Structure formats: structure tokens, C-alpha cells
Amino acid sequence: MKGDAQRPSPAAHSHLRLAIALASISFGALGVCMILPGALLPLLVEKFGMRLVEAGSMMALQPIGYLVAVVCASRIIRAIGMRQTLRSGFLVAAAGYAAFGLVSSWTAGAGAMLVTGLGIGTVEVAANALIVGVAGDRSPSVLNFAHLFFGFGSVVTPAIATQAVALGATLAGAFLTTALVLVAVALGWGFLHQAATADADHSGTAGPLHRRFILLCATMLAVYVGTEMGIGNWLTKYLVSVRSVDLPDAGRALSLYWLGLTIGRLGLSFMAHRFTQERLLSSLAMFASTFACAALLAPSVRLEIAGFTLLGLGFSGIFPGIIALGGRFHEHSTAQATSIMIGGAGAGGIVIPWIMSGVSDALGLRMGMAFYASMCFVMIGLAIAIRQSMPLETSRAPVH
């Protein structure tokens, strides 16, 4: 396996460290730009005069663009290389967020969200495939470390954005600032030597895909991403409308939700290689299901926010765990396997929040959030199915 290859030279090792550092920063930037629309959703609903189902439809355009990009990502990587793919993805996302900050109708906003999704999906596949391609047997821990920075971006964005708007900042300013952050990260990839991504550049379609296994992984990512991002997009609106929480306090509650996810990934970045990924997925799904229900049944707002924080902790290792598991079994077709799995994530990001917005329109936001809780139980079943479908050669002890 890649992890068993000969020890790299000091210069090559330095390039690999820089590649992982840039990938981690990239996930942090994705955390900022993916969380911002949900954090400011109550104000966006007011600005555009949207019904809840229109808001859900606007938010769904981002994962539609994401899904289109994911389907094409492995071909783009083979055509222009990993580094240029990452730079291009960030520049496209920056253009979308700049446009979103300037539009005045929800339909134009939906179009801008579509563009941001194209950039984000391209970056998501490329950054994950890069890490799996260069980290080898250490990819579970390295993926958790890199995705930890997504958590950092997710934690700071709601609190800072909602507080800044409460103090007089404009919505346009918030989205234009995000666009500048994405441009800065795109420029950062220009400092990476092309040799650092050579292994990942050529991991496209060299090996066979184990289709039932990879499709189950993609399905679990669909349910996970639809639920995780759906809660992230709607939690402030739910707390403001249903629980009568002030917007800055709701923003801080959303930050705590992402903080739980971040703390979990921090711990797993040190410990993930000590557990089999399939067992870890089942345990995390059960933990998340427990606290999703506990949050919605809590008798007070404080206990409810604590429940959502622990729900984030349960979500922490699911995405990196599935990517690492799929990549371990498809080390000669990493980009293609990653594209399929993240394609599932994109599909879930479209369908599940859209269903939730329809449930909320018909039955209220409380029932919409209960729908998300039910999806956590679906993840338990999928984690068990993934474990049972694994071929014998993948069901081995973790690498220490």
C-alpha cells in the first residue's frame, strides 16, 4: 500500500506536509463558506421575502452545483492535476459568494448558490482524494485532522457573522468577505510544488470498484451530509422561530453544535487509527441518534442546546471515516471512489433538506427537525450494512 512505500526524502516530506497543511486550511475555508448562509438564514428569509419552502429550494441549489462538480471532479483532476483543480474550485466558489452578496432576489441568490456549489464540490473531492493519496494507512487520522479545520470554520462563522450583523454589518459585506477568503486560499495553492500531489493526480481509474460496498458508503454519506448540513442550515431559524431565542444567541448555539463536531475530530485525529472504521461508524451513529432525540425532547433551551452540541460530537468522525474506509479499499482508484462517495453526499444535501423544508411548511419547524432526528437512526442501519458488506480483505485490524 501507499503507506508502505519507501521513506520520502526530506524535501518530498516537506512538500507532503505543506500539501496536508493547505488541504486543512482548505477545509477550514469550506467550513466558513458552507455555514454562513445557514447562520444568516433568518435575515436572508426576511431580505428576500421567502416562504420556508423557497428558502429550502434556494439552499438546495448549492448541493445541486456541488453534485454536478463531484461527478466531474475525477475527470478534471486527471486533465489539469490536483493543484490546479483546487485553485480553480476556490476561484469559482469565490465568484459565487461575491455574486450572492450583491443580488436582490431569491431566484438570483439561488443561481449564485449553484455557482458556489460547483466550486465547493470540486474542492471537496480534490482535497479528500489528495489526503487519501498521500497519507496511505494513516489516512483515517490525517483525514480527521484535516476535517477538524472544517469544524473550526464552522464554529467561528455563526457567532462572528450573527454578531457582526447585529452590530451593523451588511449581508453583502459578510458574503464579499467570504469571497476574499476563498481567493486567498486559491492563491495559497500556488506555493505548492506539483510533485507533492503526484500520487493523488494519478489515482483516478486504475483499479476496480467494489460497487455494493462503495454505493453503501455513498448512501450513508447522503444521509449524513443531508442531516448534518440541514441541521446546520436550519438551527438558527428553528431556535429563533420556535424557541424565541435572539439571533446572536442562536448563532452561538449553532457554533456550539459545530464545536461538538470539532472536538470530536480533534480527538479522532489522534485515536482514529486505533479503531476499525466500521465499528467507529456504528458507534458514532448510535451516539448521534441518542442526542438528536435528547435535544428535541429537552425541557429547556439550555438543555436543548447541550443536546445539539453532543449531536455534533456524534457526527464528528462519520464523514472522514467513510472516506478513509472507501479509500483504503480503492487505493488505485482513489479519485473515482471519492467522487462516487461524495456524489452521494451531494445528493443527500439536495434531497434531505428539501424534504425537511416541505415537512416544515406543512407541519412546522419542530417536526422538520424531528425528521432530521429520524435520519440519524437510518445511519445506524447503513453503518451496520456497510460493516456486513465489507470484503474479507478489508475487515482487518487497524493500523497502529
Closest CA relative to residue 262, chosen from 317, 185, 182: 317
Give residue-wise pLDDT tens across range 257-280: 988 988 988 888 777 566 677 888
Tell me which of 41-50, 188-197, 262-271, 287-296 is least confident. Answer: 188-197
Out of 2.40.30.10, 1.10.486.10, 1.20.1250.20, 3.40.50.720, select the CATH number for domain 15-392. 1.20.1250.20
> Is residue 310's pLDDT more than 50?
yes
Give residue-wise pLDDT tens across range 339-356: 888 888 888 888 898 899
- Pairs from 301-305 (Cβ < 8 Å, separation ≥ 24): 301/239, 301/243, 301/245, 304/243, 305/239, 305/253, 305/256
Longest CA–CA span in the chain (Å) reads: 61
Average pLDDT over residues 40-66: 82
**Burial class, 7, CB count within 10 angstroms (exposed 0-12 / middle 13-18 / buried 19+):** exposed
Q: Cα–chain-centroid distance for residue 60?
A: 15
Average pLDDT over residues 349-377: 91
CA 245 to CA 376: how far, in whole Å? Answer: 25
**Is this structure's pTM higher than 0.85?**
no
CA 250 to CA 256: how far, in whole Å? Answer: 10
| Res 41: pLDDT | 83
CA 118 to CA 72: how far, in whole Å? Answer: 10
Give residue-wise pLDDT tens across range 176-207: 999 999 999 999 887 776 655 555 555 544 55
Q: Give exposure, 227-264, as e/b (b: 16+ Cβ within 10 Å).
A: bbbbbbbbbbbbbbbebebebbbbbbbbbbbbbbbbbb
| Res 331: pLDDT | 62
Query: Are 315 and 144 in contact, with CB atoms under 8 Å apart?
Result: no
